[in-house]
Amino acid sequence: MDLQPIHPGIWLVPGAGGGRFPFSHSILVDSDVVCLIDAGCGLAALEQVQELATPDLILASHAHPDHISGCWMFEEVPIHAPIMSAASFGDLDALAKRFAPPHLERTFKSFIQGSMGFESCSATETFDAGSSFDLGRTRLIAIHTPGHTEDHMCFFDTATGTLMAGDMDLLSFGPWYGDRESDIGQLRDSLHSLMDLEPRLVVTSHEGIVRSSIQERFERYLEVITMRHGAISELVRHERSLAELVELSPIYGGHNHLAPALTRYWEGQMIEKHLELLVLEGRVQRTRRGYVARGAGA
Ligand SMILES: [Zn+2]
């Protein structure tokens, strides 16, 4: 495993599969206190972390399984979870109830166990917006950034201007908001609040280290939401059901990878959130069969 230096004593732990879902990159802060941020980089990478140092604590950005799948490997290490996750954090059944519809709970559980090596774990501590973590040479502030999930937290190191942005991941795919609790408006606000910090360096869970053109990268990332909004409003110029829209796949561009049933569900959630906004904006109306743009022929 090649740790990538972020700053002296702060390392990116590259996730399996390039850090793409169902894995994510972790960050190792090897300061007076050793802190591992997220534990979804894959079990082999986590074994190598264990050989380097035993963390004094694990900080979780949010409760998505691809960020906490390997927490169980660190017995005795305190796990700090966002306070909003407390009811479901690390619990296989509770996470399935939170993140999957009833008919896909079993699929969700077998997917995260099989693909990520997920096993249940327990948070020993919780933290809230504005909590600070004094790690010695490094001090991190938790920034609540809901929208992706309700509990999503970023961490900011004010001394170096380094933002650990979690799943505000700056991938060209664009932001992900496929859970019931996800919210496009909150996500936009969260992204703007991160831009306002004017970070000098960003580390994200799936893209890794971003050292340049940071404001532009955030703007492009936000622009994907706008482009999806336009594409979905175009698709309902003809009346379409949600199931038909999911098969057209304007967000994922197909479901032939990983867990197709789950990907279809996430795509449907994301499309529906756009349609709800389009209805509120008066551009689209609901019909018995689905949705159609106002003034368009069915
Ligand atoms: Zn996530």
- Report the phi/psi class of residue 90: left, alpha or beta, with left for phi > 0 and alpha for psi in -120 to 50: left
Tell me the CA–centroid distance for residue 294 and ligand 1, in Å: 34
- State whether residue 258 is helix, strand or coil: coil
Question: Can you tell me the distance from the alpha carbon of 55 to that of 66, in angstroms, rounded to the nearest whole number?
Answer: 19
- What is the structure's pLDDT at 280? 98
- What is the structure's pLDDT at 297? 57
Tell me the CA–centroid distance for residue 243 and ligand 1, in Å: 24
pTM: 0.96
Half-sphere exposure of 104 (CA within 13 A, CB side): 17
- What is the structure's pLDDT at 258? 80
Tell me the CA–centroid distance for residue 66 and ligand 1, in Å: 7
Instruction: Tell me, rounded to whole angstroms, the distance of Cα 209 from its chain centroid.
Output: 16
Query: For residue 80, what is the enclosing H or E element?
Result: strand 79-82
Tell me the CA–centroid distance for residue 3 and ligand 1, in Å: 22
Tell me the CA–centroid distance for residue 166 and ligand 1, in Å: 8
Q: Which residues of the chain have pLDDT under 50?
A: 298
